[in-house]
Amino acid sequence: MLYSDKVMDHFEHPRNVGSLPGANAVGQVGNPKCGDIMKMYLNIDEDGVITDVKFQTFGCGSAIATSSMATEMIKGKTIQQAMELTNAAVAEALDGLPAYKMHCSVLAEEAIKAALADYYRRRGEAVPENLRLPCGGEEHGCCSCGA
């Protein structure tokens, strides 16, 4: 099969889909041109713990599955822990992705980072270096960087 059972499970039954009206951290990455856009909504409490998370994704099966898995992996975690989530970890948690789909897991990692960057910005704090996206912005191009 193209995708592992876990990918298919998260694709068919995505966890944490939707928007979070009161979110204090929102990030969107991707580009309609590339066919995938991911938006992450986080609620982060005073202790820096992610208490709630939702996502919206326009994209392929692995984009949806990685979004879903990533939300599960950061829910209840601290900012610090979420910051350290790598795309490889998301892909691994899904029992792997086809090589040419690995860029989607990058997108999930980046969507979280974009949301965390937003969190710092909203608070008027400096955005940590490791939250800077490779292509210098939220709307990075999948075709040039992601693949």
Partner 1 sequence: MSRFIYADHAGTTALSQTALAAMTPYFTEQYGNPSSLYRFGQEAKADLERARADIAACIGAKPEEIFFTSGGTEADNWALKGVVELMALKGKTTGHIITSAIEHHALLHTAQHLEKQGYAVTCLPVDELGRVSPADVEAAIRPDTVLISIMAANNEIGTIQPVAEIGAIARKHKILFHTDAVQAVGHIPVDVEAWNVDLLSLSAHKFQGPKGVGALYVRRPLRLPPLLHGGGQEKGRRSGTENVPGVIGMAAALKEAVAQLEAEGARLSALRDRLIDGLTRLPYTRLTGDPENRLPGTASFVFEGVEGEALLLHLDARGICASSGSACSSASLDPSHVLLAIGLPHAIAHGSLRLSLGADNTDADVNAMLAAVPEVVAYLRNMSPVWDAAEQKPTWVVE
Active site positions, annotated: 34, 104
Min separation Cβ 56 and partner 1, Å: 4
Task: Give the whole-angstrom CA distance, residue 61 versus residue 39.
Answer: 16
Nearer to partner 1 by C-beta: 49 or 147?
147
Nearer to partner 1 by C-beta: 78 or 141?
141
Q: 3-state class of 142 per DSSP?
A: helix
End-to-end CA distance of the chain: 21
Min separation Cβ 46 and partner 1, Å: 27
Nearer to partner 1 by C-beta: 8 or 135?
8
Provide the binding-site residues for partner 1, judged by CB under 8 A. 1-2, 8, 11-12, 14, 17-18, 28, 32-39, 56-61, 63-64, 98, 100, 103, 142-143, 147
Task: Give the whole-angstrom CA distance, residue 72 versus residue 95.
Answer: 15
Task: Give the whole-angstrom CA distance, residue 58 versus residue 36.
Answer: 5
Nearer to partner 1 by C-beta: 32 or 76?
32
Min separation Cβ 39 and partner 1, Å: 4
- Residue found under tokens 């068919």: 12
Min separation Cβ 136 and partner 1, Å: 20
Nearest to 86 by CA among 69, 98, 100, 99: 69
**DSSP code of 2?**
-
